[in-house]
């Protein structure tokens, strides 16, 4: 099993360009797995982890409801935002500046074959990172992602997640609000959940901005520990 993961920080990059790149890496791993199965080739499958920040964009998962986008595409364009319907699970999500987006493209057969465990470990990575800032985050039963004050009128999400998997290969991932402009979340019903709000790390800490490079280091440290993996750049 190959537990080495090729790490790339793509900086600020267009959503569609990044999606196409994800698809290429995803297909590369699938093709190796198919070759191994058909020819008993014994080839090692690679793993990838992409970090990126997108310009303002809204994405709708394959099970999502378009009505959860509350403005027209013309109005989105006026706000310098784009929209894509994509092939992950989940409903509508926003990505934008001040948000750390992570796309692990892993062959889970290198780690474990359990999608639910995979999602729970991604959540745990964020929960542990927030704990380093003195914040107690948690899971919300039946709702993927990371939250504060679950079960109260003040419940709010800080990290959304949505993944696609085929033959145990994953793509898409998580969106962690660090210095996000929360006004963009008012243009949609986040993840189709009407009675809960959204927050960002800088808001929770009462700061104008939080060091995103520091947050990334903490996320990656917890990821390697939880997945018993190592990164190479």
Catalytic residue numbers, as ranges: 191
Residue 122 contacts residue 160 (beta carbons within 8 Å): no
Residue 21 contacts residue 50 (beta carbons within 8 Å): yes
Q: How far apart are CA 119 and CA 104, in angstroms?
A: 11
Alpha-carbon distance values, 67 to 15, 16, 57, 83, 186 (Å): 21, 22, 16, 13, 14
Q: Which two tokens stand for residue 111?
A: 């780690």
Alpha-carbon distance values, 93 to 119, 181, 232 (Å): 17, 14, 29
Contacts (Cβ under 8 Å, ≥6 apart) of 176: 99, 100, 101, 102, 126, 146, 158, 159, 201, 215, 219
Q: Report the side by side order of strands in the sheet with 92-95.
A: 82-85, 57-60, 92-95
């Amino acid at each position: 099993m190959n537990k080495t993961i090729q790490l790339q920080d793509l900086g600020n990059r267009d959503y569609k360009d990044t999606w196409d790149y994800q698809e290429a890496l995803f297909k590369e791993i699938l093709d190796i797995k198919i070759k191994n199965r058909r020819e008993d080739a014994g080839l090692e499958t690679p793993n990838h982890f992409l970090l990126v920040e997108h310009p303002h964009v809204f994405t709708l998962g394959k099970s999502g409801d378009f009505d959860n986008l509350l403005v027209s595409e013309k109005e989105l364009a006026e706000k310098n935002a784009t929209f894509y319907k994509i092939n992950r699970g989940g409903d509508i999500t926003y990505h934008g500046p001040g948000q750390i987006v992570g796309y692990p493209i892993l062959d889970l057969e290198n780690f474990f074959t359990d999608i639910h465990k995979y999602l729970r470990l991604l959540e745990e990575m964020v929960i542990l990172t927030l704990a380093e800032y003195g914040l107690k985050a948690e899971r919300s039963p039946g709702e993927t992602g990371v939250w504060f004050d679950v079960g109260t009128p003040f419940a709010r999400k800080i990290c959304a997640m949505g993944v696609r998997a085929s033959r145990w290969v994953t793509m898409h991932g998580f969106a962690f609000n660090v210095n996000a402009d929360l006004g963009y979340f008012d243009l949609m019903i986040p993840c189709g959940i009407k009675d809960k709000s959204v927050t960002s790390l800088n808001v929770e800490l009462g700061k104008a901005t939080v060091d995103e490079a520091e947050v990334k280091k903490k996320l990656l440290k917890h990821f390697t520990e939880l997945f018993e993996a190592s990164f190479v750049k």
